[in-house]
Structure 1
Amino acid sequence: MNTFICTAYILSQPKLIKVKHQNFCYVLLSLQNFLDNIPNIKIKAFAKGKIAKQVFDLYKQKNSVVIESSIYIKRIKTVNNNKKKSKVIFVRVYKIHNLSI
């Protein structure tokens, strides 16, 4: 398992979904990119169980947070028949903390 720790800005309101008595929470995050001239990196984050309930209850859109998670990149084909593949970055949140400035 790889560990990914970063500061992020919450772009969307967290959404809570229950599947077979299990909580899942999905949220869109923005990471600052200091290496390239690309303004920000958008990632999709999800949490499961008690962490999902915590994310949904405590955090709102436009909060800055510190997350500890695992990261993976998924390649998906475009809708049209071009042979291009785009990459989507996902993280699974294990711990989350509010970043007070």
Structure 2
Amino acid sequence: MNIFICTAYLLSQPKLTKIKHQNFCYILLSLKNFFDNIPNIKIRAFAKGKAAKQVFDLYKQKDNILIEGSIYIKRMKTVNKNKKKSKVIFVKIHKIHNLPI
């Protein structure tokens, strides 16, 4: 298991869904990038259980946060004639903290 800690900026309002009595929350994040000539990285993040409820209740779009979680990379096929596979980065949130910036 990999451990991922970063600062991020919320690009979207957290969306809460409930599936079989389990809370899931999905958000779009922009990771801060301190290297030159490289833009910020946009990724999708999700949380489940108590962490999902906490994300949905406490945070909104344009907040700066500190995330503790895991990274998942999924290969997805595109619906083109070329049949290329693209990689999508997901972050599973374990804990989330507010940044007073």
How many residue pairs match? The answer is 101
Rounded to whole Å, the distance in 1 between the matches of 2:82 and 2:100 is 45
Residue aligned with 2:23, SS: strand
- Correspondence 1:17-56 to 2 at 5 A: 17-35=17-35, 37-56=37-56
TM-score when normalising by structure 2: 0.93
User: C-alpha distance in 2, partners of 1:34/1:68?
Assistant: 19
1:2 paired residue number: 2
Is the alpha carbon distance of 1:99 and 1:46 closer, same or farther for their aligned partners in structure 2, counting shifts above 3 Å? Answer: same
Runs of 4+ in 1 over 6 A off after TM superposition: none
Runs of 5+ unmatched residues, structure 2: none
1:23-65 deviation line (CA, Å, top 9, x unaligned) = 0000000012334633111111000001100000000000000
Instruction: Tell me the distance in 2 between the aligned counterparts of 1:93 and 1:18.
Output: 17
TM-score w.r.t. length of structure 1: 0.93
